[in-house]
Structure 1
Amino acid sequence: MAGAYIIDAVRTAVGRRGGRLAGEHPADLGAAVLTALVERTGIDPAEVDDVIFGCLDQLGTQSANVARTCWLAAGLPETVPGVTIDRQCGSSQQAVHFAAQGVLSGTQDLVIAGGVQSMSTVPMQASWQTAEVPDPFSGSTGWRARFGDEEITQFHGAELIAEKWGLERRRLEEFALESHRRAAAAVDSGRFAAQIVAVGGVTADEGPRRDTSLEKMATLQPLRPGGRITAAVASQLSDGASAMLIASEDAVRRYGLKPRARIRALTVVGDDPVLMLTGPIPATRKVLDRAGLGLADVDLFEVNEAFAPVVLAWQAETGGSPERTNVNGGAIALGHPLGATGVRIMTDLLSELERRDARFGLQTMCEGGGLANATVIERL
């Protein structure tokens, strides 16, 4: 069966901002997962056609094409190229898409997709501050003619979504608490252990808060007066890296590889840039149509928990089952190292499909600018 095959996938633990991974250079985080991926798959690294990494705020230690830097920091062959991309929060999921498209086109056979982000080293939106402008939009006459002075931030979008779908603060906090509960249960049962490459002795995700409660969440101040969004219902700022090997059918045969899954369908969509975070809704419909599947055919869903209202609005509009969505917790509990999260999520989705002996998984992520990627993978 022709296609783009997932051979294996690995990740670091996700560290809290200022936590135990804070002192690790992004190149070394990326090098750790690349080294482990090469070792686990047994490939000759010189045969890799490209390394595609997601990373946001590409400056400082994350500048100068960090994908290439990670590969070289791992001591891997200089002959292999690398490229760094920014599709906002979906960057490493987009890296998987580009890798799969290269394989499906017949122009490449082995491509590594992944991402890295050190939010301790390079704060979120640091590139805006470097440019000394309030945001990337305000200086554009064309943008202002189209959108006026409307606030364009993910926080504003999350508030608008909560208001539009009638999601009260208590409901958002209940969702966040469940994310922490599911993540803690996954950690305790060892579900993430095989995925994680130790870096600096860190072998477990630092984000899950076992002692949190609805009472504690209720004491937090909203991000804006009278708002519903607090830090408790938002993804955590984090450090981490992830990597996945995508191979063609020919490469699978030639190198004796054993695929874990194949990419069944992929898509990316644009949506309202003011609401910003609603893209997973149309992306889900589009990717299911491309896959020739219905919602009931999908065994597990991963919808990135940028904010609690993103997932709750997605469930309301698509009918996606809460019991089959983010079953091991999401970014509210596990953290969101922006450029690495897409492959981090897909790594967990793949592992959970295997654990449950299930077949189809659907992953989608909201992204800055009103974008969303969606992927359907089929376990083999």
Structure 2
Amino acid sequence: MRDAVIVEAVRTPIGKRNGSLASWHSADLSAQVLSALTDRTGIAPEQVDDVIWGCVRQSGHQANNVGRNAVLAAGWPESVPATTIDRQCGSSQQSVHFAAAGLIAGQYDVAVAGGVEIMSSIPAGAAIANPDLGHPTSVSIRHRYGVDFNQGVGAEKIAEKWGISRSQLDEFSARSHERLAAAIDSGALKRQIVPVAGAEGQLVDTDEGLRRGTTVDKLANLKPAFVEGGQIHAGNSSQISDGASALLMMTSEKAAELGLEPIARVHTATVAGDDPVLMLTALIPATVKALQRSGLSIDDIGAFEVNEAFASVPLAWISEMGADPERVNPNGGAIAIGHPLGASGARLMTTLVHHMRDQNIRYGLQTMCEGGGLGNATILELL
């Protein structure tokens, strides 16, 4: 029986807005993680059947199939194909799903999944900046829902629906920074990060979003960002970031043939849709579906990576799923690390894979909310 296993997972450090990675071209930064996969495993690039790359803002230097451009920038043979996909924040998690499906179906023997986003230079709305070309939300959609879609407003509605207080949001956010600081200081993230050159030629090997000393009292001084009198602000939201991440995937049979040892296999992969006005809740039904299909319970999962788009999202997910909060984002999340949209799915999975191996955790689950009311969930099994 064919399967899909992960034999290596790498990422760049995550750069803060207008930070050390802001001047990188997306194809060139992507090439850094592609090259790291071949350097670490010794696999010949021509053995890769496809590169499936996530990217959300496909404009400017992220346009024209940045996945293909990444392959060329890495100096890989022209025979290696690539495609770029957009499932909003879950794009590179979906890349993993597509790669796994291709491997299991026999379309691939070896595939790379990953993604990139340079949010510093490709700002929000860049892909729809020309009003003469129309707006992605059609009149019929606006008539159906009667409101414009807004993630920040959705995060506020989630906090209200699940009864999550400002103090709970800020406590969760401060803890994200605390956990990232502990992970950096212990060296827990070192193996997964590919150091890259910064804007001034310096070597960057550490996530730049960390704000040491973040406390609930400090966060309490920040003003709401989306709704007057609301609870969501810059400090309990994910950061605007730059980064890239990639995973080398293949069948177990191919790994044995190449003399490579798999880290984990893709056990279960699901996607779900939910209310596009709340927008950020589909990770809940996606997780329910994943657990049902896998035959596992929430207590069987030893580690969770739940994207911290806004603090209300993982808190609502924890409330619904009954997961142990200590197992959720044990090395910090997007509030502290950052959220380079198209790279985030693969970044979370890279972090999860390495944590599972380091802590000998059999099952890990990753899930993300996504624009449009979508959500992915993936269960990995340690090998």
Task: Tell me the TM-score normalized by structure 1.
Answer: 0.97
Aligned mate of 1:279, from 276, 279, 282: 282
Matched to 2:88, the amino acid is: Q
Deviates more, 1:360-369 or 1:211-220: 211-220
**Structure 1 residue aligned with 2:207:** 205
The aligned runs of 1:227-376 (5 Å cut-off) are: 227-376=230-379
**Structure 1 residue aligned with 2:75:** 75
Distance in 2 separating the partners of 1:296 and 1:219: 37
**Structure 2 residue aligned with 1:47:** 47
Distance in 2 separating the partners of 1:281 and 1:359: 22
Distance in 1 separating the partners of 2:339 and 2:33: 17
State the SS of the aligned residue for 2:231: coil
**Structure 2 residue aligned with 1:104:** 104
Distance in 1 separating the partners of 2:376 and 2:325: 20
State the SS of the aligned residue for 1:40: helix
Distance in 2 separating the partners of 1:55 and 1:230: 25
Coordinate RMSD, CA, aligned: 1.2
Distance in 2 separating the partners of 1:143 and 1:278: 19
Distance in 2 separating the partners of 1:67 and 1:131: 27
Distance in 2 separating the partners of 1:68 and 1:133: 26
State the SS of the aligned residue for 1:361: strand
Give the conservation status (yes or no) of the 8 Å contact 2:2–2:106: no
- Encode CA deviations 1:106-135: one digit per residue, 9 max, x unaligned: 111000000000011101231122346895
Distance in 1 separating the partners of 2:87 and 2:169: 26
Deviation at 1:334, TM superposition (A): 0.3
Distance in 1 separating the partners of 2:332 and 2:132: 37
- Encode CA deviations 1:59-112: one digit per residue, 9 max, x unaligned: 101011000111111111110001000000000000000000000001110000
Where does structure 1 lack aligned partners over 5 or more consecutive residues?
none
Distance in 2 separating the partners of 1:130 and 1:247: 41
The aligned runs of 1:116-265 (5 Å cut-off) are: 116-131=116-131, 136-137=136-137, 140-148=138-146, 150-200=147-197, 201-223=203-225, 224-265=227-268
**Structure 2 residue aligned with 1:19:** 19
State the SS of the aligned residue for 1:263: strand
Distance in 2 separating the partners of 1:264 and 1:131: 44
Matched to 1:129, the amino acid is: A
Matched to 1:127, the amino acid is: A
Distance in 2 separating the partners of 1:317 and 1:117: 31
What is the percentage of aligned positions where both structures have the same residue? 55
Deviation at 1:250, TM superposition (A): 2.8
The 1:275–1:298 alpha-carbon spacing in structure 2 relative to 1, beyond 3 Å, is same
Deviation at 1:253, TM superposition (A): 2.6
**Structure 1 residue aligned with 2:200:** none
Distance in 2 separating the partners of 1:131 and 1:66: 24
Where does structure 2 lack aligned partners over 5 or more consecutive residues?
198-202
Deviates more, 1:70-79 or 1:208-217: 208-217
Distance in 1 separating the partners of 2:130 and 2:115: 22
Deviation at 1:136, TM superposition (A): 2.5
Task: Tell me the TM-score normalized by structure 2.
Answer: 0.96
Distance in 2 separating the partners of 1:180 and 1:23: 25
Give the conservation status (yes or no) of the 8 Å contact 2:2–2:105: no
Distance in 1 separating the partners of 2:139 and 2:242: 36
Give the conservation status (yes or no) of the 8 Å contact 2:268–2:294: yes
Distance in 2 separating the partners of 1:77 and 1:107: 20
Distance in 1 separating the partners of 2:240 and 2:123: 9
Matched to 2:341, the amino acid is: L
Matched to 1:169, the amino acid is: R
Distance in 1 separating the partners of 2:29 and 2:177: 25
Distance in 2 separating the partners of 1:220 and 1:272: 29
Number of residue-to-residue matches in the alignment: 377
